[in-house]
């Protein structure tokens, strides 16, 4: 599977609980933090839900 790098670029302050939970589930807890995940349909769906808060790069 392909890998993707996900970086948090916007804050989760004043965001709905489900978006905060999605960010935490992706492993993002701080601004400018980067995590790597496999590009599975589940991960891509989570990224789509918080696309306005993150930057995604294919690796």
Give pLDDT, residue 16.
98
Q: What are 36-52's pLDDT values in tens digits?
A: 999 999 999 999 999 99
> Is a pLDDT exceeding 90 seen at residue 9?
yes
Cα gap 35→39, rounded to integer Å: 12
CB 47 within 8 A of CB 1: no
> Is a pLDDT exceeding 90 seen at residue 18?
yes
Domains defined for the chain, CATH in brackets: 3-58 (3.30.1390.20)
**How would residue 1 be classed by pLDDT, with cut points 50, 70 and 90?**
confident
Give pLDDT, residue 55.
98
Give pLDDT, residue 34.
98
What is the 8-class DSSP label of residue 30? S
Cα gap 41→47, rounded to integer Å: 10
């Amino acid at each position: 599977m392909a890998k993707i790098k996900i970086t948090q670029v916007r804050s989760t302050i004043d965001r709905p609980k489900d978006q905060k939970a999605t960010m935490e589930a992706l492993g993002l807890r701080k601004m400018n933090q980067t995590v790597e995940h496999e590009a599975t349909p589940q991960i891509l769906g989570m990224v789509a839900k918080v696309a306005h808060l993150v930057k995604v790069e294919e690796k």
